Amino acid sequence: MNTYSPALRRILCIGGGPAGLYFGLLMKRRYPALQVTVVERNRPFDTFGWGVVFSDQTLLNLQRADPESAQLMADAFNHWDDIEVFYKGGRVRSTGHGFIGIGRKRLLNILQERCIALGVDLVFETDVTDDQALAAQYNADLVIASDGLNSRIRTRYQSTYQPDIDTRQCRFVWLGTNKTFDAFTFAFEQTEHGWFQAHAYKYDADTSTFIVETPEAVWKAHGIEDMSQEDGIAFCEKLFAKYLDGNTLMSNAKHLRGSANWIRFPRVICNTWVHWQDVSGKQTPIVLMGDAAHTAHFSIGSGTKLALEDAIDLADEFTRHSQDGSGLDMVAVLRGYEARRSVEVLKIQNAARNSTEWFENVERYTGMDIEQFSYSLLTRSQRISHESLRLRDARWLEGYERWLEARASHAPSLRGSLRTEGVDTAWGGPAPHRPSKHPSPPMLLPLKVRSTELKNRIVVSPMAQYKATDGVVGDWHLMHLGARAVGGAALVMVEMTSPTPEGRITPGCPGLWNNAQASAFARIVDFTHNNSSAKIGIQLGHSGPKGSTQFGWEATDEPLASGNWPLLSASAVPYGEQNQVPRAMTRADMDAMTSAFVASTQRAAAAGFDWLELHAAHGYLLSAFICPLTNRRTDDYGGSLAHRCRYPLEVFAAMRAVWPSDRPMSVRISAHDWAPGGNTPDDAVEIARLFKAAGCDMIDVSSGQTTRAARPVYGRMYQTPFADRVRNEAGILTMAVGAIHEADHANSIIGAGRADLCAVARPHLADPAWTLHEAAKLQARAVDWPQPYLSGRDQLYREIARQQAIHGNSVTSDPTETA
């Protein structure tokens, strides 16, 4: 297929929404000789929906691309900085968020007028049923498929585009009102069947968008699907009457009944955005743009932003390849466009997914007080961080930090952070508190679990070192763990340690099956206690089907070339084709293994460890029982989730019985197998509830590594949503782990109540004093440095203060992103 075009002469945009209109005008502005045609099925002034919202940053992008249309939009925009949250009779308002709103009809009219001024041909009231025939009619060299969410073109060529459409759980209705809100307003109302929320914002002098959303089960329970549109609107008016000040709610989709008027949001992702089609003997690219290519949930206000920025990026790609539209390698242009945009769109869609799930699961957070509920809402996408909130509204954030600090210090009786009975497990019990001029950032708040007091919320993850000899740890481990104990973290965890020789992952992994091993560990525990204020814990686990493998820097999870030892597992299922087939455990094997775990637990207690964790994740022995992909047993230890958890629970109970009652025990689980037929986050909540009932104090929430078929979706803090679910649904403390790289991440996680501890791995390998250094960047002085290092501390604080005075504070997230 020869797709080289000597010149781009004719562009056809099918769909006259923001993407098609804006791309048309941008290309005509840059290349006036082009013939650009936009075909739209509706009339010029028809529109659906009410207003759209952007961040201030989006307007800057528009100003760069076409100052004239950007100025017309700016003149029509309503700008506001505040977000206001109404919840359980309370109200929280913060500022500095930087939103702009405009009526959708006004936006389209501005783009239409700009197209006409530039000479773009606009064709209205033309319903395109055959894109190929239309492309042939206009002899198009390039077709833009900007025909919206229900794109016919995407459907026609779906074998190329490979769309993935996920219809979300909530029903929502897009309404308007003449009540003008002076802030982006989120209002939450509880009914006898569940929660409704409204998203409201002003977009012109006398009109606001008013979106009402609720889970489908709640929507059905109220019978809204059987109501007329008028009755459905009346229901919403009554429910949100206190916010409307006597104003009515309006719909501009008058032909729809209640069930059609309330829709479920379809999340659209396409594997590729370009299809090549032979049109009249010429290979013509048909390029998806806007909602036809991707969608982002309205709760982050990015759908129109993405459409307009699609247009900007494709126009920029043409400019990069040719100044006059001639001599173009169309393949290179479109390849560049897809590569650039797919990354940016993925970022927004990941944020939108987090935001969508937050609103789908409002019930999960309704145990929180309004202060934390609002913080959780503002940071729900994980693109808005703790420090970006400080840039927006430092006064409000400092007040929230003081609120958190007071709860951590005084540990009041349960007031809703978790729906549990007894003590407030969200904030532990009374713990040491050092008053300071400024409140402590969330990651430096203390936490008490049973009788163990942690000075802050940072944990050094258990990280395999492969430096033990016959299971005995040595000087390397003393250096590794000791350095991190004096580095500021509250809890330092020893890597997974086996109760039997055959339970090691590699020949260099530690064990705790004899007294020599226990004595070596006691040396490290004593050093930690005598030279730092950190606590030290040990993670006990058996490798199961993933044992007898090479060191991590050789080939992770790959079998030894020689010297293999026999493996045990729930079933005779190897971790991979190249791995050894384990023997399925008999009842006698299970009893013997439980006894080995108990003996190791007793040795760990005698060695003085403060914390004990049971490893039931990552495809190791106990995880192999829990995961349905590796447990094929037909006895009482296979089948249902409860049965698959039975043996791990037996082991935990036996360990808990001999572990000192005043010391905490946690369990690491894989909250998502990331593979078809595996455990899901729903299962993780149930697993956590089972361990909680058995006396577990905290769930260390990891994911994956249970099968080679796993396909995780990575990203910063990508496992934190699982910790969030477990914590706030199962009502148990959680530890978040996975791509937590900086204090801003940890502060956001703790501040939002998504987890109670943050386990940091790789950053601690690069910097043993990671916690001290991150605290220094925040100018947080309520951190204990080792006395020999005090002069270094003072110099570091002075240098950071100097750099911040020169360059200003910096944060990792874009402070102009919408929430």
Fill in the DSSP letter of residue 498: B
At 424, is the secondary structure helix, strand, or coil?
coil
Distance of alpha carbon 505 from alpha carbon 634, whole angstroms: 27
Distance of alpha carbon 412 from alpha carbon 428, whole angstroms: 9
Report angle CA 591, 592, 596 to the nearest 5 degrees.
120
203 in active site? no
Distance of alpha carbon 804 from alpha carbon 794, whole angstroms: 15
Distance of alpha carbon 527 from alpha carbon 448, whole angstroms: 22
Q: Which residues of 587-611 are buried (b: 16+ CB within 10 A; e: fewer)?
A: eeebeebbebbbbbbebbbebebbb
Helices assigned H by DSSP within 171-302: 216-221, 229-239, 241-244, 258-261
Residue with tokens 């459905």: 232
Distance of alpha carbon 745 from alpha carbon 385, whole angstroms: 7
Give one DSSP letter per residue of 674-723, joined into a string: -STTS--HHHHHHHHHHHHHTT--EEEEE---S-TT------TTTTHHHH
CA-based nearest residue to 650, from 681, 701, 695, 686: 695
Are 67 and 162 in contact by the 8 Å Cβ rule? The answer is no
CA-based nearest residue to 647, from 726, 584, 730: 584
* 585 CA to centre of own chain: 38
Tokens in use for 756?
């109670």
Are 430 and 472 in contact by the 8 Å Cβ rule? The answer is no
Distance of alpha carbon 277 from alpha carbon 480, whole angstroms: 60
Instruction: Give residues with Cβ within 8 angstroms of 571, minimum separation 6.
Output: 584, 624, 630, 631, 632, 633, 638
Give one DSSP letter per residue of 92-117, joined into a string: EEE----EEEEEHHHHHHHHHHHHHH
Fill in the DSSP letter of residue 87: E
Active-site option among 87, 161, 375, 620: 620
Q: Which residues are catalytic?
A: 620
